[in-house]
């Protein structure tokens, strides 16, 4: 029996994940995105230029936030995102990009950040999970965004440690 050929859509849909070890607590790192994302730009000014609440409340499902960020060779990118999920007990938050520069190349883009305490010692693991659907084959998979996530994580970690 012949195998079904992959549909065109399947090659456009993808997931990328990365993990970053940090020294800060899972709760503090999660709170930077859920409770005070407007402070992320202070922690990572070279990557995140600002975050503004457009609708709703910080860290509440359904709220809309605007991110200004620097990625690749674009000096200033914008993402309008809706908070899709917040689970404080799991230190998890999910953002769906609904407008902005990423939507020029992607039909959908979902970003989940979950932070778990490291087993058997201090510190935490930040797990970034990106789910996306490209608008065409010509669009590159967003691997460079994973490196961006790693850099932001490390800078937030340094910022949180300096606050202690």
Which SS3 state, helix, strand or coil, does residue 57 take? coil
In a domain, residue 7? The reply is no
In a domain, residue 2? The reply is no
Q: What is the CATH number of the domain that holds 50?
A: 3.30.530.20
pLDDT digits (tens, 9 = 90+) for 81-113: 999 999 999 999 999 999 999 999 999 999 999
Q: How far apart are CA 151 and CA 133, in angstroms?
A: 24
Q: How far apart are CA 22 and CA 115, in angstroms?
A: 10
In a domain, residue 4? The reply is no
In a domain, residue 40? The reply is yes
pLDDT digits (tens, 9 = 90+) for 24-51: 999 999 999 999 998 999 999 999 999 9
In a domain, residue 157? The reply is yes
pLDDT digits (tens, 9 = 90+) for 15-30: 999 999 999 999 999 9
pLDDT digits (tens, 9 = 90+) for 122-150: 999 999 999 999 999 999 888 889 999 99
In a domain, residue 140? The reply is yes
In a domain, residue 3? The reply is no
Its pTM stands at 0.90
In a domain, residue 103? The reply is yes
Give me the number of domains the chain comprises: 1
Which residue range forms the structural domain that includes residue 35?
12-161
**Is 50 exceeded by the pLDDT of residue 5?**
no
């Amino acid at each position: 029996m012949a195998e079904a050929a992959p549909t065109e859509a399947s090659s456009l849909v993808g997931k990328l994940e990365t993990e970053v070890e940090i020294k800060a607590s899972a709760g503090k790192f999660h709170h930077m995105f859920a409770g005070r994302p407007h402070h992320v730009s202070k922690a990572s000014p070279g990557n995140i230029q600002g975050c503004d609440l457009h609708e709703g409340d910080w860290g509440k499902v359904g709220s809309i936030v605007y991110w200004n960020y620097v990625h690749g060779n674009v000096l200033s990118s914008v993402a309008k995102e809706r908070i899709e999920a917040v689970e404080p007990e799991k230190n998890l938050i999910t953002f769906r990009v609904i407008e902005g520069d990423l939507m020029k190349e992607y039909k959908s883009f979902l970003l989940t950040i979950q932070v778990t305490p490291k087993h058997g010692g201090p510190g935490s693991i930040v797990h970034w999970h990106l789910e996306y659907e490209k608008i065409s084959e010509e669009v590159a998979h967003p691997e460079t965004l994973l490196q961006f996530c790693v850099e932001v994580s490390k800078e937030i970690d340094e910022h949180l440690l300096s606050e202690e």
